[in-house]
Structure 1
Amino acid sequence: MTSDALRRALEEPGDPPLRPLPDEVAALLAALHAPPRLAAHLRAVHDVAAQLTDALADRFPQLPFDRAAVLFGAATHDIGKVRHPEELSGPGSAHEPAGYELLQRHGVAAPLARFARTHASWQGDGIGVDDLLVSVADKVWKGKRVTDLEELVVDRLAAATGRERWSVFLELDDVLDRIAAAADRRLAFQATHPVRDPAASGPVVR
């Protein structure tokens, strides 16, 4: 049974309006009795990932990426915080391997579960465009710009389009500026949802 607090985090429209999470992700968060703030955060990042992938598909149609994978990755990247709720309000990386394991335990294939593990390690080996886009969404949703991460995306865009890096950079910068403009409102939406569900005695993790 989904608590009222978690249901609000999953279903309230938000300001700006946020897309709902994929049904399978919302069902998993409910089954795990996820903290409402985590659900609100995942919705914000998922919505930004949708905006980002739409803009890139429009402006850089030559860039190969899997939009469905990026959206799933954005919707689940921090799911390990069900096991490590202290990392919702403080630093920590224990949620990254925990999230990967949790998703696999619930039947998510490794190629999709990997985003829980890669979203904060964009300079690692084997990081593809899809991973980079999830990482960018996880930063720009709150207005944070990370130069080395964005430069990696610029490299991929320049290679895919054959355009000069400076031209690609300016266009990507415009896309990210437009998305970041609503960061304060997304942060406010997340903050209205509690870290701990008042109806739950503790997180249920399986």
Structure 2
Amino acid sequence: MASTALQRALTEPGPDLRPLPRRVEDLLRETAAPPRLAAHLRAVHDVAHQILDWFAEHYGAVAVDCEAVLFGAATHDIGKTIHTDELSGPGSAHEKAGHRLLLDRGVDERLARFARTHAAWTEPGIAIEDLLVSLADKVWKGKRVPDLEQRVVDHLTAASGQATWQAFIDLDDLLTAIATDADGRLAFQSAHPITG
């Protein structure tokens, strides 16, 4: 049974945040996830939805595994259920631990990989889905990472044939709009305790 604080983080309306996928909610309850982690995952998941909605409207020719991106955004930090010190401090032990946790619970590698790749977006061969989860994990709080954004632009131009400058402007407009709501998402996350 989930703690009351975790249940609130999963269900409280917040700043128009979409609910997490049911499978993810169940995983967070099973692992007794810290409420703040659940709130964070909801915020990143919602931003990933916004990015994918924009992709569908403006770059429909770019092939993206939307299910994978949404699951990845909703679980990318699940390793922090094990490494709770990384909820309020730096660390990367949660990446490998989260990946293992998901695999051990029967999650396919196609979906589990984001727990280990969300901070590895500079590695060669990273797919557009991994970049989008990384992007959502940055911009949810208003953080802009030019190198990461350029990699997304490169994918957009390669897949769509559009001019690089146009893809850059389009993506910049989207991320600027998303970032304007960062304070509400940060306040939502901060309203939930680190421990259950």
* Structure 1 and Structure 2 fold alike (TM over 0.5): yes
Partner of 1:47: 46
Partner of 1:9: 9
Displacement of 1:130 after TM fit?
Answer: 0.3
2: distance between equivalents of 1:28 and 1:112?
13
Partner of 2:130: 131
Q: How does 1:137-152 map to 2 (within 5 A)?
A: 137-152=136-151
Matched, 1:84 2:83: yes
Displacement of 1:125 after TM fit?
Answer: 2.6
Displacement of 1:52 after TM fit?
Answer: 0.5
Paired residues in the alignment total 196
1: distance between equivalents of 2:18 and 2:167?
28
Partner of 1:94: 93
Q: How does 1:115-194 map to 2 (within 5 A)?
A: 115-194=114-193
SS at match of 1:167: helix
Where does structure 1 lack aligned partners over 5 or more consecutive residues? 198-206
Where does structure 2 lack aligned partners over 5 or more consecutive residues? none
Partner AA of 2:61 in structure 1: Q
2: distance between equivalents of 1:125 and 1:28?
30
Displacement over 3 Å in runs of 4+: none
Displacement of 1:126 after TM fit?
Answer: 2.5
CA RMSD of aligned residues (A): 0.6
1: distance between equivalents of 2:35 and 2:176?
28
Partner of 2:104: 105
Identical amino acids, percent of aligned pairs: 63
Displacement of 1:190 after TM fit?
Answer: 0.1
SS at match of 2:70: helix
Q: Deviations over 1:117-140 (max 9, x none)?
A: 000010113310000000000000
2: distance between equivalents of 1:168 and 1:113?
29
Displacement of 1:38 after TM fit?
Answer: 0.3
Partner of 1:70: 69
1: distance between equivalents of 2:19 and 2:125?
30
Partner AA of 2:194 in structure 1: V
